[in-house]
Structure 1
């Protein structure tokens, strides 16, 4: 796992801003390796903390506990997730759906909301919010 400090003020207010930001994050990495990016946002939708979790060609861990701990430590109001599928298929897998639901439930208990989870496959991107999964 790698932590990065977000440039302030990095405002991620909406799907277009999130898609552009995370596409840039993923563009700098090997598309054959799955990576999960987690952005923690404040009440103004400014990114206050950003983490990068590197997996392999088969997937990456979904570190629910560390995401929730980071949310508590940073006073997170909203969480944005993004990861890539090395297969090139941008559709969320069943495992993606389960993990995101678990995170959304845990975050809700802390008055925090999972705002969206973007799945990139090649040049395409799926949004859990647009698909009605959040």
Structure 2
């Protein structure tokens, strides 16, 4: 499902990303959902997409994400998903899926700016943890 971003939010840095995505998980915290914000060269959100799939390297909609990036001429993407179990620490599966997406994104000169994981214990950032 694709949704157009209503305003040109600037997604530069952890706090901006956390604030931007937090409301996305308020409605259905018991379901795992992936959100992808496409940004331009100035980190302005130009499009927002959501996917109802677990963050698994086999289920991650890499083709859809990269197809949108090409169509929108995105400079980068910021990913966010939730852990309904509550722990915001990235799992091994989260790391593998993000790595697979990052490798594919490099081929089209798309930057994965961050991947945020939301849980009851807060929000973890792949960038801040040195995983990107």
TM-score by length of 1: 0.91
Matched, 1:74 2:82: no
Tell whether the 8 Å contact from 1:8 to 1:46 is kept in structure 2 after alignment: no
Tell whether the 8 Å contact from 2:3 to 2:48 is kept in structure 1 after alignment: yes
RMSD: 1.2
Matches within 5 A, 1:11-90: 11-27=10-26, 29-55=27-53, 59=54, 61-90=59-88
Structure 2: which 5+ runs fail to align?
none
Matches within 5 A, 1:98-109: 98-109=96-107
Structure 1: which 5+ runs fail to align?
none
Runs of 4+ in 1 over 6 A off after TM superposition: none
Per-residue CA deviations over 1:82-130 (Å, capped at 9, x if unaligned) read 0000100101111110110111111111111000000001150100011
Tell whether the 8 Å contact from 2:87 to 2:121 is kept in structure 1 after alignment: no
Tell whether the 8 Å contact from 1:38 to 1:50 is kept in structure 2 after alignment: yes
Per the TM alignment, residue 8 of structure 1 is displaced from its structure 2 partner at its CA by 2.9
Q: In the aligned structure 2, how far is the partner of 1:91 from the partner of 1:75? A: 31
